[in-house]
Structure 1
Amino acid sequence: MTSDAPWRIFRGDGESRGIGGLPPAPPWRRFGDGPRSGTSAAPYLISPKDADVVNAALHLRRPLLVTGQPGTGKSSLARAIAHELRLGDVLHWPVNSRSTVSEALYRYDAVGRLRETALNRDRQHEEPPIGTFVRLGPLGTALVPRTEPRVLLVDELDKGDVDLPNDLLTVFEEGEYEIPELARLPEDQSVVDVLSADPDTRITVTRGRVRCDEFPVVVITSNGERDFPPAFLRRCVRLELPPPDSQRLREIVSAHLGGAAAADVEDLLQVFLSRQQRGGLATDQLLNAVFLRAGGVDLDADGLLDAVLHRLGGTI
């Protein structure tokens, strides 16, 4: 591979050339006016057996607990469901060690309200409505009453506090929650428009209570870093996503990059499967390698393939 190979936009020689226009991005890395989180640029492929587990969760109105190795498509499943069933954008709740159910339901900016009230009083303006300072979170927005359910992705629940799954039980069982700051308002202020997790969208809340008509399609992902309480597991439908086999990988490459790219994938596929057995790889790493090759990149030179198909766990 020479330093002036056409694909090399950055050459690392200190000379300023300008970018000169980037080639098209991979379909799964396009932003701007491209597909949003509730749509899918390419089909999401799982086995009929796994699809039946999803259908069971839909019929039972139960959360779907999806486990599996990183890169098996756990989070993408929520977007695939939203796309196929035309349920709008996915409401995304990425869980971390500080996540709480209350914040996923709603946030009330009391400090901001006090500040704005004081400023408006000084200017002799009306007090701003309280709904301006209440924003529903992804979980709270998912439970807003509507004729068709929303899809809620609770991503990596096992990264949350040990009590978080139990805290979710009441909300999932009741399908409702209260916003005390609104419930305490006088009767003539019982109907309040609040902000939601959807951009530029307000939700009408009556007497501070939100109750769903249709239980949302809840997809909970876990990397298996810890076990969940039996009471929580009992209320979920469980789906273990296995790593895709060679035939499924070929179908995934063809769906994302077309038949021409899939026709020249056999050697990369075998390298991917071999390394996956030793250290664990994600499917999108194979897609990255195939995309680069289709763009004329020599993956055999200078250890570039090792940089793309690197291990996801242990020492790099």
Structure 2
Amino acid sequence: MAFDSTSTYVATEALKQAVNAAVTLQRPLLIKGEPGTGKTLLAEELAAALDTPLITWHIKSSTKAAQGLYEYDAVSRLRDSQLGIEGVENVANYIRPGKLWEAFTADRRVVLLIDEIDKADIEFPNDLLQELDRMEFHVYETGETVAAEHRPIIVITSNNEKELPDAFLRRCFFHYIEFPDRQTMQRIIDVHFPAIAPRLVSEALEVFFDLRDTPGLKKKPSTSELVDWLKLLMADQLAEEALYQRDPVKAIPPLAGALVKNEQDTHLLERLAFMLRRQGR
């Protein structure tokens, strides 16, 4: 298998090499990068390219590693035993398979996405070391061992909210998605909007990268937010004209709610615009 860009996803050479290396080594691919740089979308495109199912495990702060294996519903079993329901003696009826179980027992190789692993407790990655290494785990309630029939391709994403343990990192192939430069961003826009006006792209990219370069900005606009902004500009002729005729000392570009996502950054841009107006007097 050789992963490449698709009709809906632009992959850099470095990213292609990382995906192919992880598949060759049969190791989880750990992807880091700014929010909105296509980490989750990579797993979706990889599954589509392989024509195989994607199994997604979205991680939350409360998620425990064991939930990815299975959960034993002891409460339901106790209730059913009190009600005299048939089958209560079979503990397997109360085992709920998790996402790893689902991936391990699939009838063909699947792509397993463990999304935003850094949201969980610091011990979460360590608790999965053996399962990801051996591709099997033991179900204590039934005494069975669940082993991968077809080794899944595992993609793990992180927004770098917390450091991951060294023992976990050693078992992964790591890649950091650099924020796209202007040329790569142009390719991404072409994929999403093949018929977009070149002037609109040029003006929008100028504003977008100027915003990202603003000192002190709390949240820099992402690729996905640029795509949303362009979609709005294409649908609103007045906003598009306002972009073309924008005054450099105005605070915020038209429809900037797609790009600027908090009041601190809004106030920062307004203060910078005020200072530019004073300097221009």
In the superposition, the TM-score normalised over structure 1's length comes to 0.71
**Paired residue for 1:309?**
259
**Aligned partners of 2:196, 2:79: CA distance in 1, in Å?**
60
**Aligned partners of 1:163, 1:43: CA distance in 2, in Å?**
36
- Taking structure 1 as reference, are residues 262 and 110 closer, same or farther at Cα in structure 2, changes over 3 Å only? farther
Letter in 1 for 2:185: L
Q: Deviation at 1:264?
A: 3.0
**Paired residue for 1:298?**
238
**Secondary structure in 1 aligned to 2:238?**
coil
**Secondary structure in 1 aligned to 2:127?**
helix
- Taking structure 1 as reference, are residues 289 and 273 closer, same or farther at Cα in structure 2, changes over 3 Å only? same
Q: Deviation at 1:150?
A: 1.5
Q: Deviation at 1:75?
A: 1.1
**Paired residue for 2:60?**
96
Task: Report if the CA contact (8 A) 2:65-2:125 is conserved.
Answer: no
- Taking structure 1 as reference, are residues 139 and 314 closer, same or farther at Cα in structure 2, changes over 3 Å only? farther
Match of 2:69 among 94, 105, 111: 105
Letter in 2 for 1:91: I
**Aligned partners of 2:198, 2:127: CA distance in 1, in Å?**
46
**Aligned partners of 1:309, 1:144: CA distance in 2, in Å?**
42
**Paired residue for 2:202?**
266
- Taking structure 1 as reference, are residues 289 and 92 closer, same or farther at Cα in structure 2, changes over 3 Å only? same
**Aligned partners of 1:75, 1:46: CA distance in 2, in Å?**
13
- Taking structure 1 as reference, are residues 153 and 216 closer, same or farther at Cα in structure 2, changes over 3 Å only? same
Map 1:16-95 → 2, pairs under 5 A:
43-88=8-53, 90-95=54-59
The range that moved more, 59-68 or 159-168, is: 159-168
- Taking structure 1 as reference, are residues 257 and 167 closer, same or farther at Cα in structure 2, changes over 3 Å only? same
**Secondary structure in 2 aligned to 1:46?**
coil
- Taking structure 1 as reference, are residues 265 and 288 closer, same or farther at Cα in structure 2, changes over 3 Å only? same
**Aligned partners of 1:162, 1:261: CA distance in 2, in Å?**
47
Map 1:120-131 → 2, pairs under 5 A:
121=84, 126-127=86-87, 130-131=91-92
**Aligned partners of 1:262, 1:224: CA distance in 2, in Å?**
35
In the superposition, the TM-score normalised over structure 2's length comes to 0.79
Q: Deviation at 1:169?
A: 0.8
**Paired residue for 1:114?**
78
Match of 1:135 among 71, 96, 113: 96
Q: Deviation at 1:74?
A: 1.0
Q: Deviation at 1:115?
A: 2.1
Task: Report if the CA contact (8 A) 2:226-2:259 is conserved.
Answer: yes
- 1:257 matches 2:188: no
- Taking structure 1 as reference, are residues 238 and 257 closer, same or farther at Cα in structure 2, changes over 3 Å only? same
**Aligned partners of 2:95, 2:189: CA distance in 1, in Å?**
44
**Aligned partners of 1:152, 1:141: CA distance in 2, in Å?**
9
- Number of equivalenced pairs: 247
- Taking structure 1 as reference, are residues 315 and 168 closer, same or farther at Cα in structure 2, changes over 3 Å only? farther
Match of 2:158 among 222, 242, 262: 222
**Aligned partners of 1:312, 1:168: CA distance in 2, in Å?**
36
- Taking structure 1 as reference, are residues 87 and 262 closer, same or farther at Cα in structure 2, changes over 3 Å only? farther
- Taking structure 1 as reference, are residues 312 and 260 closer, same or farther at Cα in structure 2, changes over 3 Å only? same
**Aligned partners of 2:98, 2:177: CA distance in 1, in Å?**
28
**Aligned partners of 2:187, 2:63: CA distance in 1, in Å?**
37
| Per-residue CA distance 1:186-205 (angstroms, 9 max, x = gap) | xxxxxxxxxxxxxxxxxxxx
Structure 1: any 5+ residue segments left out of the alignment? 1-40, 184-207
**Secondary structure in 1 aligned to 2:52?**
coil
Structure 2: any 5+ residue segments left out of the alignment? 1-5, 244-251, 267-281
